[in-house]
Structure 1
Amino acid sequence: MKEKCTEPGCDNVILIGMPGAGKSTLGIVLAKILNYNFVDADLVIQNQCDKTLQKLLDACGPDGFIEMENQVLSDMDFQRTVVATGGSAVYSAAAMEHLRSIGRVVYLKISFDQLRERLCDFQDRGVVLRKGISMSLRELYDERRPLYEMYADITVDVNDLSITAAARKVASALQ
């Protein structure tokens, strides 16, 4: 396991977790609490490609999208920034190792039941389904959870918490 990031330039907070776990929304609140900048990696990808995530997935397929996401994430270089990654960031070992080298990776852990409540139709959200559109939310959850756990420096359970309470809990875990 990687040692805690202490070098200059590795003072970032990298949020990982399932789609619907609150990475983007919580990230904005956390950035305000920490007095950091905020970057949503999905928006960076959309802006660089001038397409929505779903259109990119439709055009490139899951593997092509993961390759593109890997490139964007591997090129990120920030200081004092909260970065909300896409839920599929953990499919790229190279991107995750880069992100770990520039900050602490925080896994926003959510139960399957809470995730199911938050995501009505996840297949229209631009979610990478490596096994195709027939992949269920349960299969996606079971596939990704071990990857989130593997890459996390810190795991924060955000079940039953408001966005503000969850952001405070993450800020406290970073101390």
Structure 2
Amino acid sequence: MNKMNKSNIVLIGFMGSGKSTIGKALAQRLNYSFIDSDVLIEDRIKMPISDYFKHYGEEKFRILEEEIISQIALTSEAVIATGGGVVKNPNNISNLKNNGTIFYLKGSPEHIFENVKYDTTRPLLNTGNKLETIKSLLKERSPLYESASDMIIDIDHKSIEEIVVSILDCMRGKVI
């Protein structure tokens, strides 16, 4: 299989786009290791990211995230699920691209809302109107996701298996 000449597969996208779920399924299919940057961060800080945000703020979190991403980027034959804001730091994308092909899991605000509407662990979405917050953040981040990605995978109205197959087809060089 042509792995686009890169060892890792990196999944980026908005929170709630399924990066972890799809990443685990894809890693299993490829017999790759699975790495979730948010899980590694929580292991390091010994608390949920939402608590870290409350106590230390987003800026300190992004510094920690960059440190973790620079370490993850050195691995090989891994599927890497990143946090939704990883694209806010160009160093993260540069590090991940060194040994990875980046797939943007692109979902509509409505699709993402359906995935996160009952989730209270996402600090940036703890607002009075989650859907409007998602729309606003997506408007800001979509150009970053698109410019950072090697391939864009539309996730709306697709099963996990269909998304995994789309990624595998891209890796094999098929046009979707």
TM-score > 0.5, shorter chain as reference: yes
Code of the residue aligned with 1:156 in structure 2: it is I
**Structure 1 residue 106, shift from structure 2 partner:** 0.5
- Structure 1: runs of 5 or more not aligned: none
Equivalenced residues, count: 166
Code of the residue aligned with 2:101 in structure 1: it is R
List, as ranges, runs of 4+ consecutive aligned residues in structure 1 with deviation greater than 6 Å: none
CA distance in 2, matches of 1:72, 1:127: 20
**Structure 1 residue 138, shift from structure 2 partner:** 1.3
User: What does the per-residue CA deviation read over 1:81-138, in whole Å, with 9 as the maximum and x for residues that have no partner?
Assistant: 000001011111111100011110000011122112222156x323457xx9578221
The structure 2 residue matched to 1:38, chosen from 34, 40, 46, is 34
TM-score (norm 1): 0.87
CA distance in 2, matches of 1:127, 1:32: 30
Percent same amino acid at aligned positions? 30
- Structure 2: runs of 5 or more not aligned: none
- Structure 1 residues 74 and 127: alpha-carbon distance in aligned structure 2, compared to 1, 3 A threshold: farther
Please say if 1:100 is aligned against 2:97: yes
User: What does the per-residue CA deviation read over 1:38-87, in whole Å, with 9 as the maximum and x for residues that have no partner?
Assistant: 11110000001111111111122111111111111012221110000010
Code of the residue aligned with 1:116 in structure 2: it is F
- Cα RMSD (Å) of the superposition? 2.0
TM-score (norm 2): 0.87
CA distance in 1, matches of 2:97, 2:82: 12
